[in-house]
């Protein structure tokens, strides 16, 4: 029963985060949640993501090939995105 409450709380956090992301005109692609970690919501890359990085509100956490992955926290959820890293083309 405890897991049910954890999942329910996570789903409530996802709902609040999706509303906030929508208000910021960011597009949600999907989400993942289990009872072991905070909910993760994937968004489409948007120019606002670069502004969050520059302001120190978000960080890149992985580079893979021509892509880099960013993240920030919102309403107890991990928000992630993938973007093309043009600096690796040189």
Tens of pLDDT, residues 53-75 = 999 999 999 999 999 999 999 99
Report pLDDT for 12. 95
Using 50, 70 and 90 to split pLDDT, how confident is the model at 37?
Answer: confident
Report pLDDT for 85. 83
Report percent pLDDT > 70 for the chain.
96
Predicted TM-score of the model (pTM): 0.90
Report percent pLDDT > 90 for the chain.
79
Report pLDDT for 18. 98
- C-alpha to C-alpha distances, 17 to 22, 29, 40, 46, 86, nearest whole angstrom: 8, 13, 10, 16, 29
Taking the C-alpha atoms of residue 69 and residue 57, their distance in angstroms, rounded to an integer, is: 14
Greatest extent of the chain over all pairs of C-alpha atoms, in Å: 53
- C-alpha to C-alpha distances, 23 to 2, 28, 40, nearest whole angstrom: 32, 12, 18
Hey, what's the torsion of the CAs at 69, 63, 37, 11, to 10 degrees? 20
């Amino acid at each position: 029963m405890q897991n049910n409450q954890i999942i329910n709380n996570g789903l409530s956090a996802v709902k609040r985060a999706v509303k906030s992301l929508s208000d910021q005109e960011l597009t949600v692609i999907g989400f993942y949640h289990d009872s072991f970690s905070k909910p993760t919501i994937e968004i489409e890359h948007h120019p606002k993501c670069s502004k969050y990085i520059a302001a120190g509100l978000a960080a890149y956490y992985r580079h893979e090939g021509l892509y880099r992955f960013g993240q920030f926290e919102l309403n107890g959820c991990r928000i992630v995105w993938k973007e093309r890293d043009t600096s690796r083309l040189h």
